[in-house]
Chain A
Amino acid sequence: MSTKDSNFSRVATRLGLNTDDVWPSVVRERLLAYGLLLLYVVVIWFPIYYIFITSLKTQSEVLTLPITFFPQEPTAQNYVDIFRNRPFEAYTINSLIVATTTTVICVTLGTMTGYTFSRHDFLGNKALLLSIVAARMIPPIALIVPFFQIMSSPPLIGGLTGNLTDTRVALILTYTFFNLPFAVWIMKNYFDGVPTSLDEQAKVDGCSTWEAFVKIILPVAKPGIAATAILAFIFSWNEFIFALVLTRSEASQTLPIAVSLFVADDFVDWSHLAAGGMIAALPGILFGLFFQRYIVSGLTQGAVKE
């Protein structure tokens, strides 16, 4: 039995209660906790289940009454359709390229900068860190006008031709705006928890500052890097508003846009939308199932630790 249980019986004995009298209440409390959690999980998973079964229904079954909660003739046709009739391959590739590139940029810059903020006192480091925190607070939507203007105007730097609207570059640049400050912050907090004696020992052993960072500190920081990478990937994969403003065609449209395209003004193609939605949701579900620990640690590093 866990320590909590033995604590409980100790406390119970001290209170002069018979342990046998206390146990049923403990059991009852646990059953209640299980029951409530189970109920919550069933309720919150029901919508996901409903969109999943919709993706397996034929188009006519989707519109049949009464509503069925188990698909009568499950079919993968909707998934085939969206790749055949719509450029879902292009959307998926766009999403992968945009999310991966953003993640690489943010993790690389965020790790280096986070480490230096954690270890080095340099001129203006407090002010700079504070401005990075402030940057996290800027509502992204407030900046859609300037981003749209910047991306649709001819580039300031010569050499590039045309503007950046409807390119993946525009999305990558934009997504680093909300992910980079977050990455710096998570990594700074992560490095704060890594003992400085490691750096010092490396120096004593003759490592340069760079060697100490790359060979000694980075390997230790892997869980923090994983957390940052997963969150940056999810945030960029899921982003919708900037993609809505900055993309026009399959040259740069990502999966969230692709899903929204199933909605016409007065008609929604629910069965195909559901299939597209499941594809867009896949990384989230997989990350949630297999890397939940990193998501939790990243969020708490990034949010709670101030």
Chain B
Amino acid sequence: METTEKSLRRTLDRLFVPLTVGPTLIWIAAIIVYPTLKLLWSSLFWENPLTRESEFVGLRNFKRLLLDPSGTLGMLNPSFIAFTKNTIIYVGCSVTFSFLLGLGIAILLNKDLKGRGWFRTAVIVPWILPYVMSGLMWRWMFEAKNGAINGLLVQTGLLSEKIAFLSDGTLAMMALIIADIWVFTPFIVIILLAGLQNVPEQLYDAAEVDGASRWSRFRNVTYPFLKPSILVALTIRIIFDIRALDLVWVMTKGGPGKSTEVWASWLYRTSMEFQRTGEGAALGVIMLAVTFAIVAILYSVFGGTPYDS
């Protein structure tokens, strides 16, 4: 009895690695690798939305997305240019402003203040709420007639008449960016705060003794230690913003007109509303490639993996 139990134990121990890693790998293969391969495969087909029959079309889906439909040689598709521009404005503005705001808040929270934990809790909440709820909440805030923002501005006399924020292309984009900043600044705060806590206290004291100015203290003491966190915060923020559809979908649906249509909403519309799954998949492939390219560029520019030094 004893020996069988022992040999069973030994066998189980020998199987430790396959038994702990195996299920995850099988799961990941089924739920990530297979869909990703299917994405690449689907991007090469044209599927009839009614009959579900599909036909191999090679790279024609990519051509339709990227090139001018009128067939002018070498010209890009105007929709592609417009939606790419929207995506860049949306991602660029919200990442920049939420980064600067988040950095400021992180620096304040890093001070040795009483009630710091309480502040941190209060600051974190917007990020944990469902994005749909946040999006609709902001849509309600920006509402033309009964929205709180118009209410505050008009009822306090700062504005003479109400503005239909979400009916104007530029203002709608601004509203989206504000909502996005509201949602994602806490993420920046958390990541940068973790980085700030790695700066050795003595370095600040030394810098203070040297009479370094506030800016030069930041530049020479804080920044080098913060750089890895900045890289991570920016990378995750950018790739997350390119893919995130929730806010755009519930606030503007890409409108008015196509003024807030971004890649993510374009992908959704193409594949789900217009049922052009092949084109949707092709756009998915492009987003996948762009995401990996951005990660590669950011890491090669900032160099090395964080905490190497």
Contact = CB atoms under 8 A, between A and B. Distances in A.
B113 A33 contact: yes
A296 B190 contact: yes
A45 to B, nearest CB: 7
Interface string A234-248: 100110110011000
B277 A289 contact: no
Nearest to A282: B129
Contacts of A36: 104, 108
Contacts of B193: 296
B2 interface: no
B208 interface: yes
B291 A4 contact: no
A115 B20 contact: yes
A287 B229 CA distance: 24
Contacts of B221: none
A256 B271 contact: no
A304 interface: yes
Contacts of B250: 260, 263
Interface in A261-306: 262-263, 268, 270, 273-274, 277, 280-281, 284-285, 287-289, 292, 295-296, 299-300, 303-306
Chain B interface secondary structure, helix, strand, loop or mixed?
helix
A112 B24 contact: yes
B139 to A, nearest CB: 8
Given A2-B112, A65-B145, A138-B32, A209 B38 contact: no
Contacts of A50: 137, 140-141, 148
A245 B38 contact: no
Contacts of A222: none
A11 B206 CA distance: 9
Nearest to B239: A137
A304 B120 contact: no
B271 to A, nearest CB: 5
A110 interface: yes
Contacts of A144: 267-268, 271-272, 280, 284
B112 A48 contact: no
Interface in A3-40: 3-4, 7, 11, 14-15, 30, 33-34, 36-37, 40
Contacts of B208: 11
Interface of B: 9, 12-13, 16-17, 19-21, 23-25, 27-28, 31-32, 34-36, 38-39, 42, 104-105, 108-109, 111-113, 117, 119-126, 128-134, 136-141, 143, 145-148, 150-151, 154-155, 182, 185, 187, 190-191, 193-195, 201, 205, 208-209, 211, 228-229, 232-233, 236, 239, 242-246, 249-250, 264, 267-268, 271-272, 277, 280-281, 283-285, 287-288, 291-292, 295, 305-307
Interface of A: 2-4, 7, 11, 14-15, 30, 33-34, 36-37, 40-41, 44-48, 50-51, 54, 62-63, 65-67, 69, 105, 109-110, 112-113, 115-117, 120, 122, 128, 132, 134-135, 137-150, 173-174, 176-177, 180-181, 184, 208-210, 213, 234, 237-238, 240-241, 244-245, 255-256, 259-260, 262-263, 268, 270, 273-274, 277, 280-281, 284-285, 287-289, 292, 295-296, 299-300, 303-306
Given A144-B271, A148-B277, 17 more contacts: A33-B113, A37-B109, A47-B141, A116-B20, A128-B25, A142-B288, A146-B281, A177-B31, A208-B9, A208-B13, A238-B130, A273-B140, A274-B140, A285-B129, A295-B124, A304-B191, A304-B306
18 contacts: A4-B201, A14-B209, A33-B111, A37-B113, A37-B119, A47-B134, A62-B146, A63-B145, A109-B23, A116-B21, A141-B287, A145-B271, A145-B280, A149-B42, A256-B133, A259-B133, A287-B128, A295-B190
